[in-house]
Structure 1
């Protein structure tokens, strides 16, 4: 197409790519000829540019499961990306960006996602009532009281379900963190409308006292009034929680 003296915008429209992409290809073709058109490998190799070793990943993940930030003498009450970054910095002297920490947490099975509104209700009538009546009033209350809205969620994580993959120099076998047994751990989290996530891990079942402790920690971390929207778990309606 270039040899036919078609302009770059016409080529972009025909191929279905952007004009800047065509400009880049044309420039490379002028310098390298057809060699620039050969398919090249894309993406990172497993473990490439990973800042933590497999052993360090395992240790940090175990701390998130077994400890709270204040037990590790950090300036947080619940685990957040920033809290885990601070933990890594203090333990290993390694600085990890919030974006990269998101990838680590995802690989460890510790991600917070805003639950769909439908997950809170069993039927469409209650869902519509919440969406068009209850939630708008919560938003108004939050603005009036300078409060922050959080959505609560409880989920399970499994040692055998994480995605930690070992890395090693070419020709050597990657070292992959191993766990002595399959272990089911639960995670309670709170995520606001801006995507800020706070979480804690716990064993066995959620109890009223554990739920109250989580809310108290969330309030301390947030330093503002909290409006916490949760689903219909029995523990959320318990007598101790209601008080």
Structure 2
């Protein structure tokens, strides 16, 4: 794709790219088909909204659960305790996908202006990152932000999906202007300081990138015309 941007249009193109990669497909309390007799229980709309509000700005340990970030297993336990619903982790994974937190292909993390650049990066640059991760016994995580619509106010979410398909996330507090990206990455690495290679999509601008990270956390930028300098 040959796209020529005039100098005064770069700002608007970057803004459009950022909105695309921010993941506008996430929908809280999305319309779901009626459950048939004998099917598993599901969260009601008001319960789903209550769950989102409960998670805003809170880490699992603040609600008596393990692990540094939210994932479908500890969220399953929270739903059981809070709503007495016998959901399993597969059921909860469906909610996460509806929220836009399921695994995505790298090219799905790019706007139409960046798809070719991302494809080229995957062919030319990512193999070296993958080799480095194996050499350092590090897990690769694909990181970005998404926005959940349907709650009031809408919720911003930091999420990371590993190369094994596991998604971890944090719903940020609406009273905090700056996303807690440094704390998120430290928790992604775990209390034992596991080595992680993190590929950051265009929904995290350069101003969101934390400084002075430990050496075992390595960041890489997925090509994006929406990324700040």
Aligned counterparts of 1:189 and 1:116: Cα–Cα separation in 2: 14
Question: 1:115 touches 1:151 (CA, 8 Å); kept in 2?
Answer: no
Query: 1:124/1:238 Cα in 2 relative to 1: closer, same or farther (>3 Å)?
Result: same
1:225 alignment partner in structure 2: 195
Deviation of the 1:120 alpha carbon:
5.4
The structure where helix makes up a greater share of residues is 1
1:189 alignment partner in structure 2: 159
2:11 alignment partner in structure 1: none
Aligned counterparts of 1:147 and 1:51: Cα–Cα separation in 2: 38
TM-score between both structures, scaled by the size of structure 2: 0.63
Aligned counterparts of 2:118 and 2:49: Cα–Cα separation in 1: 41
Which of 96, 106, 115 lines up with 1:116 in the alignment?
106
Larger CA Rg, structure 1 vs 2: 1
Is residue 2:18 matched to residue 1:46? no
2:133 alignment partner in structure 1: 142
List alignment gaps of at least 5 residues for structure 2: 1-31, 216-229
Is residue 2:77 matched to residue 1:86? yes
1:158 alignment partner in structure 2: 149
Is residue 2:35 matched to residue 1:67? no
Deviation of the 1:225 alpha carbon:
1.4
- Number of residues of Structure 1 aligned to a counterpart in Structure 2: 177
Deviation of the 1:235 alpha carbon:
2.4
List alignment gaps of at least 5 residues for structure 1: 1-43, 161-181
Deviation of the 1:113 alpha carbon:
3.4
2:227 alignment partner in structure 1: none
Deviation of the 1:218 alpha carbon:
0.9
Query: 1:159/1:218 Cα in 2 relative to 1: closer, same or farther (>3 Å)?
Result: same
Deviation of the 1:57 alpha carbon:
3.2
Is residue 2:206 matched to residue 1:234? yes
User: Which deviations, in whole Å up to 9, do the C-alpha atoms of 1:147-171 show, x marking residues without a partner?
Assistant: 11000111111225xxxxxxxxxxx
Question: 1:190 touches 1:199 (CA, 8 Å); kept in 2?
Answer: yes
Aligned counterparts of 2:126 and 2:177: Cα–Cα separation in 1: 26
Aligned counterparts of 2:177 and 2:126: Cα–Cα separation in 1: 26
Aligned counterparts of 1:76 and 1:127: Cα–Cα separation in 2: 32
Is residue 2:189 matched to residue 1:201? no
Query: 1:230/1:79 Cα in 2 relative to 1: closer, same or farther (>3 Å)?
Result: same
Query: 1:110/1:61 Cα in 2 relative to 1: closer, same or farther (>3 Å)?
Result: farther
Higher relative contact order (CA 8 A, sep 6+): 2
Question: 2:72 touches 2:93 (CA, 8 Å); kept in 1?
Answer: yes
Aligned counterparts of 1:128 and 1:205: Cα–Cα separation in 2: 35
Deviation of the 1:100 alpha carbon:
1.0
